[in-house]
Amino acid sequence: MQHVISVLVENKPRVLARIASLFARRGYNIESLAVGPTQDPTISRITLVVEGDEDILEQITKQLHKLIDTIKVGDFTNTSFVDRELALIKVNAPSALRGEIVQTAEIFRARVVDVAEKSLMIEVTGTPDKIDALEQLLKKYGIIEMVRTGRIALARGYQSL
């Protein structure tokens, strides 16, 4: 089972390295990782997606709490939340197929952010499933390059970490 974990940490050098090291030492794989400052520039939010059962999740959260730079750890498993991911996809786009590619992107509420002689760059945000579906449809045109941000998440409503 996938778990989305949000960690508030001090916004200082080496904090991310300590967290990555913790996962490496324990042999836990990070499926997705996104880091950025919060509304308070002294605090960063790290969103991790990890695979594992409840025992592994408990061990991970306990270990994260032990790190000196950790302020708070939250697990979205039993919470109503919104999660999103951003992807940029550069695809082969000969002039004869451009209209078809743009129509496909529009179905996914994606948009073209760069046009070149033989390619288009498409930006899409959404759930990982949505991005996977668009990627599958664009494969037939030839994906030149692709990058994804990793998931970010916030609890629904007034609730906060």
pLDDT digit string (tens) for 48-76?
A: 999 989 999 999 999 999 999 999 999 99
Q: Which residues pair with 45 in a beta bridge?
A: 8, 36
Strands (E), the chain: 2-10, 30-37, 43-51, 70-75, 81-92, 111-115, 119-126, 143-148, 152-155
pLDDT band for 106, please (50, 70, 90 cuts). very high
Identify the DSSP state of 11: -
- Arithmetic mean of pLDDT over the chain: 95
Q: Where are the alpha helices (DSSP H) in 27-153?
A: 54-66, 98-107, 128-138
pLDDT at 88 over 90: yes
Cα separations in angstroms, 49 against 25, 80, 105, 153, 158: 17, 16, 26, 10, 23
Q: pLDDT per residue over 90-103, tens digit each?
A: 999 999 999 999 99
How far is CA 82 from its chain centroid?
Answer: 12
Average pLDDT (105-123) is 98
Q: Enter the pTM of the model.
A: 0.87
Find, among 11, 50, 1, the residue nearest to 28 by Cα.
50
CB-CB neighbours of 26 under 10 Å: 11
